[in-house]
Amino acid sequence: MGDSPRAVLFDIDGTLLVTGGAGGVAWQRAFEELHGVGADISEHTDAGMTDPEIVKIVFREVIGREGTREERAKAVGCYLKHLPDTVAESGGYEVMPGVEELLPRLIEKGVLLGLVTGNVEAAAHIKLARGRLNRFFSFGGYGSDSPDRTEVTKAALRRAELVSGGSLEESSCISVGDTPRDVAAGHGAGIKVVGVATGSYSVDQLDQAGADWAICRASDGFPA
């Protein structure tokens, strides 16, 4: 992959870990509690969507109307209330192979590690906590910054610059994600992207989506 990057931005779901459906269960519980309806988000959303996108789609396609800003905020809050329990209960929670070795190795090389995720910030840290991965990340961009993943990536880059003391150039940053949305977002923010086939998309699909590198998992051929 050439020169090692100075900052790497990691997606969470499907890249660093899988929750075994814990997020979907938390959304179901939230909409059942607030609106008395079942909401199977897997039937209405695609991998890589931000939490604000998910809320709007569920209101439109399940409840049958556009939720107000207050209703959407309440739904997110209720989701966050349930998420710690659903993550803890999940039998399918798993940190991706090689991740626990890769992250400290990058830090030892002087690489700043950040997050770029569609999760709102609190949800991101709830999901990371069970795998004890929070300790590796000093900044991030989240679904709570914007419903648009490109803007989320730009927010992460601004925070990376602050953490680095203002000396970080975009050309020295890369992002790592498992969906074409991650690829498009990274390129939209002006950085290169590693596509990892640990989620719903294959190496070939990520390559076709324009990933600068498409690999089986984050630790395969990663700069370190």
One-letter amino acid at 95 equals: V
CA distances from 194 to 16, 21, 197 (A): 13, 24, 10
Q: How far apart are CA 11 and CA 153, in angstroms?
A: 10
Question: How high is the pLDDT of residue 37?
Answer: 86
- Each residue's pLDDT tens digit, 45-81: 666 788 998 899 889 888 888 889 999 999 999 999 9
Task: Report the candidate in 7, 8, 14 with the shortest Cα–Cα distance to residue 205.
Answer: 14
CATH fold of 7-19+94-215: Rossmann fold (3.40.50)
The stretch 3-27 carries a mean pLDDT of 92
Q: Tens digit of pLDDT for each residue in 105-122?
A: 999 999 999 999 999 999
pLDDT digits (tens, 9 = 90+) for 190-207: 999 999 999 989 999 999
CATH domain 22-89 topology: DNA polymerase; domain 1 (1.10.150)
- Do 143 and 55 meet the contact criterion of CB atoms below 8 Å apart? no
Please state the domain extents for the chain: 7-19+94-215, 22-89
Q: Which residue has the higher pLDDT, 137 or 217?
A: 137
Q: At what angle do helices 51-58 and 22-35 cross, to 10 degrees?
A: 40
**Residue 34 — very low, low, confident or very high, per pLDDT cuts 50/70/90?**
very high
**Cβ–Cβ < 8 Å for 51, 23:** no
Distance CA 189, CA 211 (A): 14
